[in-house]
Structure 1
Amino acid sequence: MTEPVDPADREIRLAIWKIHILHHAAEGPIYGLWMMHELAEHGHRLSPGTLYPILSRMEKNGWLTSVPGQSRRERREYRITKAGRSLLARLRSEIKELHDELTEEKT
C-alpha cells in the first residue's frame, strides 16, 4: 500500500497493523523502527507519526509494555504482555475462521 490510506479504510488498517505488531511482539522484543520496516515489507508504509501513537495506545490498553533505552539515543523496546498474548490467541482463532469463510469455494 504505497498510496496514502483512505480515511474510510483507516479503522480496518489500524486493526491489521495492531495484529501484526502483536504477532511479532509475541515472537520477541520489537522496536519502532524495525516494526516500520517489517510493515513496509508487507506494503504498509507507516510514518513514525502513525506507528508510535499506535504502540503507545497498545501499551495503554495493556497489550504491550515498553522499556526505554539507557540513553536518549537507545531505542525503546516493546514486549507483549499476558493480556496481549491472550488477545492475540483469540484473534488468531477468529481470523482463521474468517479466512476459511472468505476462501471457501461456493458450489
Structure 2
Amino acid sequence: MEDKVLRKLFLGFIHIHILHHAKEHPIYGTWMHDELQEHGYEISAGTLYPILHNMEKDGLLLKKERNVEGKIRKYYTATSKGEEILVQARAKAYELFKEIKD
C-alpha cells in the first residue's frame, strides 16, 4: 500500500523533473530514464514513455525526431506552456518544502 501512495506522489515529482531538464536542453527517453535513476526514482520505460507522450499531448513538451546513428530518436523540449507550468510547480514545491523541512 505504501509503495502505491509513494508512487503517486513521486509521479508528480517526475513530471517536474522532466520539465526542468526539457527547459535546459532537449532530452530523450533513455537519457531521462538514467537521470531519474540517478536521483533514486525507480521508473520503467513502460512508465516513462507514456508520461513523455502525455506531456506532449498536453502541450507541455515539443517532440522532434532526429536520426542518430541510423535510428530515429525522439527529443523533447519544454514548450512555453511547459515552462509556465514549471514556474508554478517550483513555487508550490518551494512553499511546501519550507513548510515541511523541519
TM-score of the pair, normalised by structure 2: 0.89
AA paired with 1:92?
A: R
Shift of 1:100: 0.5
Deviations 1:26-85 (A, max 9, x none): 111111100000001011122211110000010111100101123771311101000000
Q: Whose strand fraction is larger, Structure 1's or Structure 2's?
A: 2
AA paired with 2:11?
A: L
Partner SS for 1:39:
helix
**Hey, what's the Cα distance between the residues in 2 that align with 1:22 and 1:79?**
8
Match of 1:98 in 2: 96
1:86 aligns with 2:81: no
**Hey, what's the Cα distance between the residues in 1 that align with 2:14 and 2:34?**
13
Match of 2:53 in 1: 56
The gaps in structure 1 that reach 5 residues or longer are none
Give the alignment's Cα RMSD to 1 decimal: 1.7
**Hey, what's the Cα distance between the residues in 1 that align with 2:12 and 2:95?**
17
TM-score of the pair, normalised by structure 1: 0.85
Q: Whose helix fraction is larger, Structure 1's or Structure 2's?
A: 2
Greater gyration radius:
1
Match of 1:73 in 2: 71
Match of 2:23 in 1: 26
The gaps in structure 2 that reach 5 residues or longer are none
**Hey, what's the Cα distance between the residues in 2 that align with 1:13 and 1:94?**
15
Identity %: 44
